[in-house]
Amino acid sequence: MKTRERGLSLIELLVALTIGTVLIAGAVYVFSQTRNTHAVSDTIARLQENGRYVFSVLEPDIQLAGYYGFSNSPTDFQYIRGGSTSSGRATADMQADDAAVDGIDETHKCGNNYAVNLLATVEGTNNGYTLGPSCPALAGGAADKADTLTIRRSSGPPDPANDPGVPKAGRLQLLVNRLSPTNQYVLADGTLPGGTVLKAGLVQMRDLIVRTYYISKDSTNPDAAGLPALRVKSLTDGPGFTDEEVMRGVEDLQVQFGIDTGDYDGDGTIDPGLDEDNDNIPDIARGIATRYVNPDKLPAGFQVVAVRVWVLLRAENPELGYVDKRTYKYADREYAVDDHFRRVLMSRTIQLRNSRTL
Ligand SMILES: [Ca+2]
Ligand SMILES: [Ca+2]
Ligand SMILES: [Ca+2]
């Protein structure tokens, strides 16, 4: 028997094709949407991860600001040369507006007495990079409106039980003394006062750490040309400063300093009994930040007890179909953008462990 072969009619074929096309288009759409969503969340996750890394660098540094070995009192120290304790310079006389301390290489000066100003455990510049002219911002110059943050402290002990450290000529160091706080010195020439015996755990050499964080306009990473970056200048031998990139893609750094005004009840005036000498500075500070100020508005006599930090992170590449038209408001900044980059703003308040009672 001959059976009649039957194929698809033209109508059936068209219907099948149409259904197929719709299904495939749907699948492609769902796939591309998923992929976009995945790419966006990937970008944001990476920005957040970079931000967490930035804080993992900043946080321990800020926490230890004002830590000077066995003491958190910079006034215990004197700067000496040639081991001569009779001609020492008190820390109160080596601040930014005092005569420059002798015996320090001036070629990398970020400002007068910048490397030795132990009293300023935390300082900064507001909405601009205004460090000394021989201390330029690297890699394309500094971002126009970013703050800078400087911290000063001692290095940690290499091995406190066994290693008292070694004096190094040409490195700013602290000679720290557990038993005799007033016999503590800042030296740049590695020459100890006569009769000094270094002893692990008691009398030690520590490196002075001075770091300034700032935003440069252009990453030094060849893969990220034109992308802003967080950089840090660090005191080194000389005494000069090295300059390294901490993280690319950081577009802004803002800081505010928390001070203890002694106004714990929040009525705008120092609380009763806390200011016997009437200078509007609490006689005994509790280390509670009751007011936050911009880095250029730190009132004299107050010490910083906390630092609030904001970092604005920007993606490396613009994103097709995405427009960022926000005005970011944080610290004292209002930053209006209109471009195609993803951004993440992160903030953290970091307490200083070494804020001392006044
Ligand atoms: Ca600012
Ligand atoms: Ca009050
Ligand atoms: Ca007072």
Q: List the chain domain ranges.
A: 38-351
- Determine the 3-state secondary structure of 274 from DSSP: coil
CA atoms of 204 and 200, how far apart (whole Å): 6
Q: State in Å: Cα 261 to ligand 1 middle.
A: 21
CB atoms within 10 A of CB 224: 16
For residue 278, the ligand closest to its alpha carbon is 3
Q: State in Å: Cα 287 to ligand 2 middle.
A: 15
For residue 302, the ligand closest to its alpha carbon is 3
Q: State in Å: Cα 264 to ligand 2 middle.
A: 6
DSSP 91: G
Q: State in Å: Cα 121 to ligand 2 middle.
A: 26
For residue 292, the ligand closest to its alpha carbon is 1
Enumerate the β-bridge partners of residue 232: 213, 244
Are 293 and 257 in contact by the 8 Å Cβ rule? The answer is yes
For residue 268, the ligand closest to its alpha carbon is 2
So what's the pLDDT on residue 11?
86
CA atoms of 227 and 196, how far apart (whole Å): 50
| Lookup result for tokens 């001036």 | 106
For residue 261, the ligand closest to its alpha carbon is 2
So what's the pLDDT on residue 356?
56
Are 280 and 259 in contact by the 8 Å Cβ rule? The answer is no
The gap between the terminal CA atoms of the chain, to the nearest Å, is 112
E-state strands within the chain: 77-79, 89-90, 122-125, 148-154, 173-177, 184-187, 203-216, 229-235, 241-248, 250-259, 291-293, 304-314, 327-330, 333-336, 343-351
Residue pLDDT tens, the chain, 358 long: 556 677 778 888 888 889 888 888 888 888 777 777 777 788 899 999 999 999 999 999 999 999 998 877 888 999 999 999 888 999 999 988 888 888 776 555 788 889 999 999 999 999 999 888 788 898 889 999 999 999 999 998 777 778 889 999 989 999 999 998 888 999 999 999 988 999 988 999 999 999 999 999 999 988 888 899 999 999 988 778 899 999 999 999 999 999 999 899 989 899 998 889 888 888 877 888 999 999 999 988 888 999 999 999 999 999 988 999 999 999 999 999 999 999 999 999 999 987 655 4
Q: State in Å: Cα 39 to ligand 3 middle.
A: 56
Q: State in Å: Cα 266 to ligand 2 middle.
A: 5
For residue 283, the ligand closest to its alpha carbon is 3
- Determine the 3-state secondary structure of 21 from DSSP: helix
For residue 262, the ligand closest to its alpha carbon is 2
Model's pTM, two decimal places?
A: 0.88
